[in-house]
Amino acid sequence: MAARNVEERLERYAELAVRVGANVADGQLVFVRGADVTHAPLARAIARAAYRAGARYVDVSYFDQHARRAMIESAADDVLEWSPPWVVERYRAMKDERAALLSTTGDPEPELLQDLDGERVGRARPKEAIEIQMTAFREGANNWSGLAYPTEGWARQVFGEPDVERLWEAVAFCTRLDEPDPPAAWNDHMSRLERRAAALNARDLDAVRFRGPGTDLTIGLLDRSRFAAARFDTAWGRSYVPNMPTEEVFTTPDARRTEGTVRSTQPLALAGQIVRGLELRFEGGRIVDVRAEAGADLVRGQLESDDTAHYLGELALVDGGSRVGQTGLTYFDTLYDENATCHIAYGFGVPQGVEGEPGGDGYNLSTVHTDFMVGGPEVEVDGLTRDGSAVPLLREDVWQLPE
């Protein structure tokens, strides 16, 4: 691709993230965050686009997994979960100033911490800062969005070779950047997913059941659980799309009512390790057994983070019509992999997945939220109604309800 076109594509992509994703408001404070240093071209393009959208100030910060690695290897045990006061102040400003947040993903080295003690990797995160972020999410303080940046490192992880252009093509397809009018395409797409969510809500389901190889899992719902698509509104009335791409309809289950076993159907890139072959067993909502071919200690470390990390907070349905799924790739990036197929998350419940305020009995207020993939052509998904009958939702990745 000619350099000029590469540049122009990047600017259009950043523009989409700012206008449709976070939907940055005039005069708003904007944080571009979580960027690997290799994401600098996208982070900068987002900063420019945010100012064009009227941002008052754009803060660009980078996340360095190598520095985190050095910390996990060497720092004292109590430092692992420490939140430096300047980091706390930053998270507080994001929340109190109702900032727009844009995160970039696409880890060039998702296995960088694979050889480290998984339990320490799982615990190593600034807990007080994350609690502030979770409060901000619960209160609907921020319009935010995440999007990935194709780099050589990430392409090597996906394809085994640094074919950045091929990865860009997949990203452009999945984020509808390949459409003549991407914002209009996004609006159509979100409306379609919202109709799907409405159809599910009309069934007034009491639970959802997954059945497949290694999986027989029933996830109970709250009376006030509601299916939704990932187009949200802040508490102050700003619409935004938190994930680009997004292909899911999701809900927030009753954290107390998950029973059975589940086998993950895709590897999970998590905090610098890749978890493979994850198998969880639930009793009374709680994860009581964790197994994996790789990364089990990391998951166990995360689950020990707080009282309710062991319980679910999200259940999401994705069918074979997903653009991400259609690419047939494993991205080792949750933003992509979770939108290729059905997934569930242990930890924090998604506020937009319930009617009314988040919190209360059965709503999970953990500081962890880890999605992992449980769907695929071999996994049957049924809704269970209050009278005990089963409504087929997915068979061989095909959506079963009328659209």
Where in 28-57 is the site for a second copy (CB under 8 A)? 32, 37-38, 40, 43-44, 47-48, 51-52, 55-57
DSSP state of 64: -
Question: Minimum Å distance from CB 94 to a second copy?
Answer: 9
Q: Is residue 61 a contact point for a second copy (CB under 8 A)?
A: yes
Where in 248-287 is the site for a second copy (CB under 8 A)? none
Among candidates 10, 18, 69, 61, which has minimal Cα distance to 37? 61
Residue in 62, 128, 187, 194 binding a second copy, rule: CB under 8 A: 62
E strands, 128-242, are: 143-148, 205-212, 215-221, 228-229, 232-233, 239-240
Question: Minimum Å distance from CB 334 to a second copy?
Answer: 23
Question: Minimum Å distance from CB 149 to a second copy?
Answer: 13
Question: Minimum Å distance from CB 76 to a second copy?
Answer: 7
Question: What string marks each residue from 87 to 126 as x (binds a second copy by CB under 8 A) or -?
Answer: x-xx-xx---------------------------------
Closer of 87 and 198 to a second copy (Cβ): 87
Residue in 8, 84, 235, 360 binding a second copy, rule: CB under 8 A: 84
Q: Which residues contact 233 (CB under 8 A, 6 or more apart)?
A: 140, 239, 240
CA 235 vs. chain centroid, Å, equals: 21
Question: Minimum Å distance from CB 98 to a second copy?
Answer: 15
Give the three-class secondary structure for 200: helix
- C-beta of residue 397 within 8 angstroms of C-beta of residue 342: no
What CA–CA distance (Å, rounded) separates 198 from 397?
20
Residue in 2, 86, 361, 402 binding a second copy, rule: CB under 8 A: 86
Question: Minimum Å distance from CB 197 to a second copy?
Answer: 37
What CA–CA distance (Å, rounded) separates 199 from 208?
15
- Site size toward a second copy (CB under 8 A) is 37
Question: Minimum Å distance from CB 238 to a second copy?
Answer: 21
Q: CB under 8 A: which stretch of 82-90, 133-141, 202-210, 229-237 binds a second copy?
A: 82-90
Task: Calculate ∠ Cα 371-45-149, nearest 5°.
Answer: 35
Beta bridge partners of 345: 314, 371
Question: What string marks each residue from 123 to 152 as x (binds a second copy by CB under 8 A) or -?
Answer: ------------------------------
Residue 182 amino acid letter? P
What CA–CA distance (Å, rounded) separates 334 from 269?
7
Token pair of 290 as six digits: 């964790």
Residue in 12, 34, 60, 214 binding a second copy, rule: CB under 8 A: 60
Closer of 43 and 262 to a second copy (Cβ): 43
The half-sphere exposure of 390 on its side-chain side, counting CA atoms within 13 A, is 11
Q: How many CB atoms within 10 Å of residue 338?
A: 29
351-361 residues labelled b (16+ CB within 10 A) or e (exposed): bbbbeeebeee
**Binding interface with a second copy (CB under 8 A):** 32, 37-38, 40, 43-44, 47-48, 51-52, 55-62, 64, 66-67, 70-71, 73-76, 79, 82, 84-87, 89-90, 92-93
